[in-house]
Chains A and B, each alone.
Chain A
């Protein structure tokens, strides 16, 4: 059983990204994550939501994105769910900024950022629900979550 779960649902629009970052920041701070880990979660979750808004729901702001922050003794996870077009991680290739600049390509960095900043990035599709889980472990390889708070 996780120690606590916090939920937020937003319409699929970039105007709510600020709210998402505040939500993540507040709960990450309450869970005693280090400042650098908090910043990393803010950007990783922002990138995940931006991808849903642009690619899963393709700009349709009548759709909804459901976030859950799951706080555990050994990890901090943010789960993002949508019911849009599924993302296939196997189809993804690492971005090359020189090629991107040549072709004036402005997007495609989000997955790279999430993978670099998180200990674990998991994608799953069950029925029509797509899910990405962004996790850092306490005392994990990124050492960003810090020691668990005293009970």
Chain B
């Protein structure tokens, strides 16, 4: 049984992905499938909620790298929210805060999408 799962939640302004468990080279394909599903469904405003993500290795981070440009080219974004400190440290080591929009809470990330949408309108 996998020790990682991705839950899908809808909001008016974004598709929310709830990550749970440990994201490593074995489980990264599940995150990849979830981001691919967002693309297939043409949901390009994505919030990754890491509140229940206990662990991440570079294989998991690589999945975000593989999708971010594509999503942005479609006018969307992958915003990352509510990370545990031990997970954030790994993102920080690789300079992710320079490339990704990272928020302390999901609400904050949602508000950012709302503001972006208003600005675009």
Contacts and interface: CB of A to CB of B under 8 A. Distances in A.
Contacts of A46: 24-25, 57
A92 interface: no
A1 interface: no
A107 B90 contact: no
Interface residues of B, number: 27
A109 B58 contact: yes
Nearest to A14: B26
Interface of B: 3, 22, 24-26, 55, 57-59, 61-63, 65-70, 86, 89-90, 93-96, 98-99
Interface stretch (A64-72, A94-102, A120-128): A94-102
B62 to A, nearest CB: 3
B62 A43 contact: no
A15 B58 contact: no
A53 interface: yes
A110 B59 CA distance: 8
B24 A106 contact: no
Interface SS of chain A: helix
A51 to B, nearest CB: 9
Contacts of A109: 58, 61-62, 94
Contact of B26 (A17, A42, A113): A17
A99 to B, nearest CB: 10
Contacts of A83: none
Given A101-B69, A106-B66, A53 B25 contact: yes
Closest CB pairs A-B (n = 5): A106-B62, A109-B58, A14-B26, A106-B66, A14-B25
